[in-house]
């Protein structure tokens, strides 16, 4: 074990040796290149927008009985539900598809081409009502369904209302205004990120049809 008295001398010797080695092995200066694309790829998806969603979904599930040996049915009634749907969605840019173009080392400018942002996650919240989750405001039975209630019809009505709400939040997240805002936010982030390395980037977007799935 090295004694405490000898540690300062040992550290000075190691530091001196490191400095000498650095001068001897110092590589020739090279032009600074933009950050490697692999660094961007490791970031995966850049989330540039999160949007909250809320709406009232009305859905009516009919209750019917098939007539044997025919293609007809008898409508007995229906179950009507009102769902207060709450959720959110995130819009992100897939940086794994990013690429550089028009790199000019003299002026330290470049173009970064990005795929258009797309909804990354759209969901209806199933949290408790007092925690901001979705809830059924009303469930009413109509026709004979009111006298002969069916738990299956009620469950089907609720599930279909939730499915309708899920599609609605996905559609809301795909609106052009939402995607344009996500583009602006993503461009701001990428410009600031590359500017911090000393490069002046221009962000351009791939056409939607050219983006990889």
Per-residue pLDDT of the chain (213 residues; tens, 9 = 90+): 433 344 344 333 443 444 334 434 444 444 566 666 656 667 788 899 999 999 999 988 887 655 555 565 556 678 899 999 999 999 999 988 999 888 888 888 899 999 999 999 999 999 999 999 999 999 888 776 666 677 888 899 999 999 999 999 999 999 999 999 999 999 999 898 888 888 899 999 998 765 555
Beta strands 109-114 and 118-124, pairing class: unpaired
CA distances from 95 to 47, 110, 177, 198 (A): 10, 16, 21, 20
First to last CA, the chain: 60
φ/ψ of 2, rounded to 5, equals -75, 130
């Amino acid at each position: 074990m090295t004694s405490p008295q000898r540690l300062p001398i040992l550290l000075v010797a190691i530091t001196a040796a490191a400095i000498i080695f650095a001068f001897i092995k110092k590589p020739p200066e090279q032009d600074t290149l933009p950050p490697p694309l692999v660094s961007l790829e490791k970031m995966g998806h850049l989330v540039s927008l999160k949007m909250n969603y809320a709406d009232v979904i009305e859905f009516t599930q009919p209750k019917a009985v098939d007539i044997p040996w025919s293609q007809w049915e008898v409508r007995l009634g229906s179950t009507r539900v009102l769902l207060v749907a709450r959720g959110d969605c995130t819009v992100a840019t897939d940086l794994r598809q990013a690429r550089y173009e028009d790199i000019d080392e003299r002026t330290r400018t470049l173009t970064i081409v990005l795929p258009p942002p797309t909804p990354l996650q759209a969901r209806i919240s199933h949290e408790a009502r007092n925690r901001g989750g979705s809830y059924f405001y009303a469930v009413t039975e109509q026709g004979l369904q009111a006298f002969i209630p069916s738990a299956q019809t009620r469950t089907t009505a609720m599930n279909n209302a939730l499915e309708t709400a899920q599609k609605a939040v996905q559609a809301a997240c795909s609106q052009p205004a939402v995607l344009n805002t996500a583009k602006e936010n993503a461009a701001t982030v990428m410009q600031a990120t590359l500017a911090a390395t000393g490069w002046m980037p221009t962000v351009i977007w791939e056409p939607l049809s050219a983006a990889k799935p």
